[in-house]
Amino acid sequence: MEVLSFLRQTPSVNTLFTGTNSPIVITYSAEDALGNASSCSFNVNISDTIAPIISECAPDTAVTADANCEYINGRFHRVYFKRLTIAPL
């Protein structure tokens, strides 16, 4: 049985990726004590399929129209969004 001199993974473990840099090529490289080397690569594709969650919405609000019976919609500041995070197994 050969003893490995090194086994390397690139990108390294705990590297953070987002859907904007997908696909990611993962490469494993190994070398034994005699200098024999081998490597393999595979792609990992990130798929963001989790919709944002609205955790709190602004309450119903009454507004007053102007002299032309118009109202320009503004931003309601009491709307909160959350994203779920999935931890690796």
User: Given this model, what pLDDT does residue 82 score?
Assistant: 60
User: Given this model, what pLDDT does residue 80 score?
Assistant: 59
User: Given this model, what pLDDT does residue 21 score?
Assistant: 72
Task: Give the helix, strand, coil percentages of the chain, each rounded to 5.
Answer: 5, 35, 60
Give residue for tokens 């595979």. Answer: 42
| pTM of the shown model | 0.55
| pLDDT tens-digit series, residues 40-50 | 999 988 877 77
Task: Let me know: does 56 contact 80? Beta carbons within 8 Å.
Answer: yes
User: Given this model, what pLDDT does residue 75 score?
Assistant: 73
User: Given this model, what pLDDT does residue 9 score?
Assistant: 94
User: Given this model, what pLDDT does residue 77 score?
Assistant: 64
- Domain residue spans in the chain? 4-82
Q: Which helix (H) or strand (E) holds 37?
A: strand 37-44
Residue spans of the chain under pLDDT 70: 1-2, 19, 76-89
